[in-house]
Amino acid sequence: MKQLLLTCIFALGALVASAQSETFKPFKVDVAFGYGIPGGGDAKGGVLFAIEPKYAISDALAFGLRFEGAVLARASMDVDGYVESVDAKLSGSYLATADYYFTTTTVRPFFGLGAGLFQLVQAQSTTINMGDEYVDLDESSTATKFGFTPRAGIEAGHFRAAVEYNVVGKNEGVNGNYLGIKLGFFLGGGRK
């Protein structure tokens, strides 16, 4: 059984090593910054940063690992216009990704999918008006959840723009999904 497993791993490694893009350099690293929009009501935005090393097994298909951090916040106001509660989310994701490129020209539209783990940290602060006094209530929770990310975008030269929807589900009854709009660049991966 061990020999069969080792043979399969060796064969898969040899296949990956021999398969690569013919027009483009196979290795590249994407670096992106963007704006995140949390799902649910009273949605406000936040910032995100991602880094994603990739390997192209053909001109049309690249596999990678995405590491992303996002800080998203939303606030609600009371009838007098004062902040009543603030809900902040920190999300770290570790996804295996695949991108399919539709062309081999300088401008390359793509569609992709990622799946993996999301680390969610949620902090909530609520201020309750008790007449002349305000009472602050603070709560936080942490969860690790499986999620997936469909995405689409375009690459031009060494620049990349993409829209991703991160499907995570709910944590403590709060929607953990968020839309990411990213702009960035990549190192490597240019034409051979």
Write out the two tokens for 145.
């959840």
CATH number at residue 42: 2.40.160.20
Give the pLDDT of residue 120.
83
Place of tokens 């490694």: 13
Tell whether 2 is covered by a domain.
Answer: no
Q: Is the dihedral of CA 190, 111, 42, 69 positive or negative?
A: negative
Q: Comparing C-alpha atoms, which of 147, 152, 154, 155 is closest to residue 163? A: 152
Q: Is the dihedral of CA 177, 178, 179, 185 positive or negative?
A: negative
Tell whether 4 is covered by a domain.
Answer: no
Rounded CA separation 70/120 (Å): 10
Give the domain range for residue 78: 26-188
Q: What angle do CA 84, 89, 93 make, to 5 degrees?
A: 170
Tell whether 34 is covered by a domain.
Answer: yes
CB atoms within 10 A of CB 170: 14
Q: How many domains does the chain have?
A: 1
Instruction: Tell me which H or E stretch contains 101.
Output: strand 83-101
Give the pLDDT of residue 142.
81
Tell whether 84 is covered by a domain.
Answer: yes
Rounded CA separation 62/113 (Å): 11
Q: Is the dihedral of CA 179, 64, 28, 112 positive or negative?
A: negative
Give the pLDDT of residue 90.
83
Q: Comparing C-alpha atoms, which of 188, 190, 189, 180 is closest to residue 32? A: 180
What pLDDT tens digit does each residue of the chain (192 aa) get? 556 555 655 655 555 555 666 788 899 999 999 999 887 665 578 899 999 999 999 999 999 999 999 988 766 666 666 666 666 778 899 999 999 999 999 999 999 999 999 988 877 665 555 555 555 556 677 888 999 999 999 999 999 999 999 998 877 666 778 999 999 999 988 887
Tell whether 14 is covered by a domain.
Answer: no
Tell whether 67 is covered by a domain.
Answer: yes
Tell whether 123 is covered by a domain.
Answer: yes
The backbone torsions φ and ψ at residue 26, rounded to the nearest 5 degrees and listed phi first, read: -75, -30
Tell whether 62 is covered by a domain.
Answer: yes
Rounded CA separation 170/129 (Å): 28
CB 147 within 8 A of CB 93: yes
